[in-house]
Amino acid sequence: MLNDDQLLRYSRQILLPQLDVAGQEKICAGRVLIVGLGGLGAPVSMYLAAAGVGRLVLADGDTVDLHNLQRQIVHDTASIGQSKAESARTRILALNPEIRVEICGKFLDADTAGEAVSGVDLVVDCTDNFATRFAVNAACVAQGKPLVSGAAIRFEGQVAVFNHGADAPCYACLYPDASEVPETCSENGVLAPLVGVIGSVQAFEVLKILAGVGEPLSGRLLLLDGLAMRWRELRLPKDPLCRVCGKPV
Ligand SMILES: [Zn+2]
């Protein structure tokens, strides 16, 4: 049941007939793990907090550095040197004190991803660490949890929802060779608002899945060429031989 403050705070979402009070209640009951509180995790955590997702778990083992502030807008100059998870928690609780925010102050790996994923309904992958990405994906496949994945580099980004619905692909279906991982922005640079665009699409998909509205970006890979400002969409089939989600032969 939403109280009067919540009905007012979330009124512009409740006004959407597809959501209404029932959809907002589902969002408020949602438990979401955000892996990485950098460029993508910044808009994801702020929009999910503002929109009322009831419990957020923030996982990041890094501290805020001056060169992060160009795009990681959940942190500010006073946060330099602080844990990214702590800094993000302070900011999003100021935005919405109604929600619960827990911290996991380490980088998730194959040993820790399973436990972190088990406590939530859905996972948002906002990291640029590929060992973490693959570990989180494997935990999501093992536990049947949807994974909303984003990536941003230079002027280009991509978004997809994995492991959601029948015959849905997983992240490893997209990268069959784990040794052949994409590049990261620490080596290549990134234009500030690119992470805002891609992270906002991730937050959008999370809210749709929690509320059970619309058509999730599952089995499709959305690609943005920011220099031309063009979106493309690729069909992303499940790989029956996938090392993570394929059936053993
Ligand atoms: Zn797979």
**55-59 and 147-153 as β-strands: parallel, antiparallel, unpaired?**
unpaired
Residue 228 forms part of a structural domain: no
Residue 173 forms part of a structural domain: no
Q: What's the pLDDT score for residue 205? A: 98
Q: What's the pLDDT score for residue 249? A: 59
User: Residue 196 C-alpha to ligand 1 middle, in angstroms?
Assistant: 27
| Domain with 27 in it | 23-153+186-216
Q: What's the pLDDT score for residue 177? A: 78
pLDDT in tens, 130-167: 999 999 999 999 999 999 999 999 999 999 999 998 88
User: Residue 65 C-alpha to ligand 1 middle, in angstroms?
Assistant: 35
Tally of structural domains, the chain: 1
User: Residue 142 C-alpha to ligand 1 middle, in angstroms?
Assistant: 11
Q: What's the pLDDT score for residue 214? A: 97
Phi, psi of 80 (to 5 degrees): -55, 130
User: Residue 227 C-alpha to ligand 1 middle, in angstroms?
Assistant: 31
Q: Identify the CATH number of the domain in which residue 122 sits.
A: 3.40.50.720
Residue 174 forms part of a structural domain: no
Residue 230 forms part of a structural domain: no
Q: How far apart are CA 54 and CA 100, in angstroms?
A: 6
Is 50's pLDDT higher than 80?
yes
Identify the band that residue 9 occupies on the pLDDT scale cut at 50, 70 and 90. very high
Mean pLDDT of the region 66-79: 98
Task: Answer yes or no: are the C-beta atoms of 57 and 31 closer than 8 Å.
Answer: yes
Is 40's pLDDT higher than 90?
yes
Return the DSSP state at 100. Answer: E
